[in-house]
Amino acid sequence: MVKICMKLNKYYHANLFRIMIGIFFLIIGALVYLIDRPSNSTYFVYHYNFMLNFHNIIPNIFGPLSNSLPDFIHVFSFIMITAGVLSCGKTGGLIVSIFWLLIDTSFEIGQKYPSVPLKFIPDSFSNTPILEATKCYFQEGTFDIIDLFAIMLGSIIAYLLILITIEKRKVVLKN
Amino acid sequence: MKNNFIKCLSFLIILFIGILFLIASASTPKQTAAPLTKSVRKPSLVPVENYPQTIEKNGVRISVEPYEFTIHKKMMTLLRPQSSLISVRGKSYYNVITQPVLLTPQKLKFKVRINNNLDHVLRLAGSVLAFQVNNKSIATDDSKSHNNFLNGIILPRQQSEFVISGPKISTLSENDPIAFLLYDLTTKTDSAGNATERTNFEWFYKVHFENVTVQVPPTTKESGYFTKAEAESLNKKMSDIQ
């Protein structure tokens, strides 16, 4: 696996470090749902937890952070993964960060005004795994201004990390 | 060119996965589903005309009153063990099903109030307590309430109350006549204490049923890890509906 990643890294110039950070934080994000929330409160834990639920076994380690931490982690992780795969520089990193900031923000705002996104959700989603939760996401989800701050913070930190992890490639000039 | 295409494709895949992750974090629908309605066959006993509920004979007044049929709404927790990938600190994975249960009396119950207006002690021992449904004697399978009654001793000018279990409700049909019989109650004794007068008391009822619909919360399902002891203590636990 590592060899494959290394080959991909060499061939496509992906920034593995960013991808690994993104995946690591995604796992932490999943733990928020698996540890701090009851198994029946979240769609993917309820349907796809593979019987791995630690709620009431491990103390709630994330405490009050668990409310907005997933929003922070989602935007942060996907910015890192995207920037890692595309191996973005300064400008590319900024575009990726703004892009995910807009995606996550629009989903959060969609929870405040659910009637708007619900118009665009096709009925066929209700029979498709995962997509069937789209309606629930907007109807049952609660808009929180702190979540918006978490999304912005996640985007800013991710962008700063992109700047730190820009790889300087060796340019080989062929004569 | 190929490199750019792959990067574009990767970006689209990440975008798709990212949105799926967002959606999968959706809350499951809250338990605001419409409450369920359950139907219960509620019996009521109506005294037959010309047979009063209070009878006074030979210095003893006895009144019999059927208990109101009560329905208690409860939630029962059931734990079902499931296979699990991990076992933590001796805990196993269980599905926790909480379902509504209606607790209703299995038998008819009667409150019997006896006033002893005699000038001597009234001993209920030796009397015969029986029920008849459709003119057939039935066994009530409740020796405790009957023994309590038959061991009763009531002082002169005193009153005692007893609760007597009657026929099973499930065995009754609409308009069944029910007789509550108390025979051979000693109301007079000689100086040696031998019974010289025995009195019979009879109450007659007709049973009527009505279907009552009760609203209860829907069944819910959760899951989690519990020790065997925790699971045993939680399993079949009843809780009040809030």
Whole-angstrom distance, CA of residue A76 vs CA of residue B18: 11
Q: How many CB pairs lie under 8 A apart between chains A and B? A: 110
Is A42–B86 a contact, with Cβ atoms under 8 angstroms apart?
Answer: no
Q: Give A175 to chain B, closest Cα distance, Å.
A: 22
Q: Are the C-beta atoms of A138 and A114 separated by less than 8 Å?
A: yes
What is the residue type of B84? S
Helix (H, G, I), strand (E, B) or coil at B83: coil
Q: Which residue of B3, B26, B91 is in closest CB contact with A43?
A: B26
Sign of the alpha-carbon torsion through B217, B218, B224, B225? positive
Whole-angstrom distance, CA of residue A93 vs CA of residue A99: 10
Q: Which residue of B85, B89, B220 is in closest CB contact with A52?
A: B85
Say what the alpha-carbon torsion angle A70, A75, A81, A86 is, to the nearest 10 degrees.
170
Cα nearest neighbour of B222 on chain A: A40
Whole-angstrom distance, CA of residue A103 vs CA of residue A111: 13
Residue A18 lies in a domain: yes
Is A74–B21 a contact, with Cβ atoms under 8 angstroms apart?
Answer: yes
The string of pLDDT tens digits covering residues B79-106 is: 888 766 556 667 777 888 888 888 888 8
Residue A173 lies in a domain: no
Q: Are the C-beta atoms of A154 and A79 separated by less than 8 Å?
A: yes
**What are residue B77's phi and psi, to 5 degrees?**
-95, 130
For residue A38, what are the domain limits?
Answer: 2-164
Q: Which residue of A40, A42, A78 is in closest CB contact with B25?
A: A42
Q: Are the C-beta atoms of B207 and B175 separated by less than 8 Å?
A: yes
Residue A103 lies in a domain: yes
The string of pLDDT tens digits covering residues B7-60 is: 888 889 999 999 988 888 887 765 555 678 888 888 999 998 888 889 999 999
**Residues facing residue B72 across a β-bridge:** B103
Residue A34 lies in a domain: yes
Whole-angstrom distance, CA of residue B122 vs CA of residue A84: 96
Q: Are the C-beta atoms of B232 and B81 separated by less than 8 Å?
A: no
- Please report residues of A whose CB lies closer than 8 A to that of B30: 140
This model's pTM is above 0.90: no
CB B186: neighbour CB atoms within 10 A? 22
Per-residue tokens: A88: 């973005």
Query: Residue B24 contacts by C-beta under 8 Å, 6 or more apart in sequence?
Result: A42, A43, A44, A48, A130, A133
Q: Where are the alpha helices (DSSP H) in chain B?
A: 2-24, 143-150, 228-234
Is B11–A43 a contact, with Cβ atoms under 8 angstroms apart?
Answer: no
Query: Residue B72 contacts by C-beta under 8 Å, 6 or more apart in sequence?
Result: B102, B103, B104
Residue A169 lies in a domain: no
Residue A172 lies in a domain: no
Cα nearest neighbour of B2 on chain A: A12
Query: Residue A168 contacts by C-beta under 8 Å, 6 or more apart in sequence?
Result: none
Write the DSSP symbol of residue B91: B
Whole-angstrom distance, CA of residue B25 vs CA of residue A111: 13
Q: In A, residues 84-123, which contact B (CB 8 Å cutoff)? A: 85-86, 100, 103-104, 107
Q: Give, for all 175 residues of chain A, the pLDDT tens digit.
A: 566 666 666 666 788 899 999 999 999 998 888 888 777 778 877 777 555 667 766 777 777 788 889 999 999 999 999 999 888 899 999 999 999 999 999 999 999 998 888 888 888 888 888 888 888 888 888 888 999 999 999 999 999 999 999 876 555 554 4
Domains held by chain A: number: 1
Q: Which of B4, B23, B220 should we substitute to test contact with A (largest number of A Cβ atoms within 10 Å)? A: B23
- Please report residues of A whose CB lies closer than 8 A to that of B18: 74, 78, 82, 100, 103
**Residues facing residue B201 across a β-bridge:** B182
Query: Residue B56 contacts by C-beta under 8 Å, 6 or more apart in sequence?
Result: B62, B117
pLDDT at B134 over 50: yes
Q: Are the C-beta atoms of B74 and B138 separated by less than 8 Å?
A: no
Q: In A, residues 38-77, which contact B (CB 8 Å cutoff)? A: 38-44, 46, 48, 50-58, 70, 74
Is A12–B82 a contact, with Cβ atoms under 8 angstroms apart?
Answer: no
ipTM of the complex: 0.86
Q: Are the C-beta atoms of A75 and A100 separated by less than 8 Å?
A: yes
Write the DSSP symbol of residue A136: H
